[in-house]
Amino acid sequence: MTGTSIKANNNSKMKFYPTRIDINTETRVGVVEKLTETLATTIDLKTQVKQAHWNVKGLDFYQLHELFDEMAGELEEYVDTIAERITALAGTALGTARMAANNSLIPEYPLDAVEGIEHVTALADRYALYAKHVREAIDLSEKLGDADTADLYTEISRAMDKRLWFLEAHLVTKSN
């Protein structure tokens, strides 16, 4: 068996290695393309959470500093899981900082965020976008017949919904 370069839908070349996995090439290409978007976005989201962790100020500093660090750690675990799924499907994980920055689906983090509420709002916006992407990836993985990847995305989805709930709880006021 030799490695093959397979033309992906986004006009880039994705390298696939020889494998005995019993998932057809078309399915693997479609799933790896989505996983690659997810990997880039997860890396970017993790670094944005760390940006908030390092720079949060205000009365809730300690609580948010700890929460953001926990959230970043959770995302780091998903980065590894996603990259390993790509390689299990005989693809190549594209996980450098530059690759992530060029392919992330979320907007750049606001550098003017200082107060805890500003960081919480920025992260809630990004977690909502990421959670939507993950749910779309569940549907795509199921449509393509890759139950294992759909299961991976389902696990991430549950965690992202919980984190979004934690963030949004900070945004509720009596007037809401």
The model's pLDDT over 106-123, given as tens digits with 9 standing for 90+, comes to: 999 999 999 999 999 999
Domain for residue 13, yes or no?
A: no
- pLDDT, position 91: 97
Q: Give the pLDDT mean for 95-99.
A: 95
Q: Give the structural domain span for 149.
A: 24-169
Domain for residue 175, yes or no?
A: no
- pLDDT, position 174: 75
Domain for residue 96, yes or no?
A: yes
Domain for residue 2, yes or no?
A: no
Six-digit token string for 49: 């959470």
Give tens-digit pLDDT for 70-81.
999 999 999 999
Residues 6+ apart with CB under 8 A from 144: 26, 27, 30, 31
Domain for residue 122, yes or no?
A: yes
Domain for residue 64, yes or no?
A: yes
**Residue 89 half-sphere exposure toward CB, CA atoms < 13 A:** 29
pLDDT above 90: residue 95: yes
Nearest to 55 by CA among 151, 104, 6, 122: 122
Q: What is the CATH number of the domain that holds 102?
A: 1.20.1260.10
Separation between Cα atoms, residue 18 and residue 97, nearest integer Å:
27
Domain for residue 17, yes or no?
A: no
- pLDDT, position 173: 85
- pLDDT, position 9: 43
pLDDT above 70: residue 1: no
The number of residues making up the chain comes to 176
The confidence band for 10, taking pLDDT boundaries of 50, 70 and 90, is very low
Domain for residue 114, yes or no?
A: yes
State the Cα angle at 168 between 165 and 79, rounded to 5°. 55
- pLDDT, position 62: 97
**Total domains in the fold of the chain:** 1
- pLDDT, position 118: 98
pLDDT above 90: residue 131: yes
Give tens-digit pLDDT for 19-52.
999 999 999 999 999 999 999 999 999 999 999 9
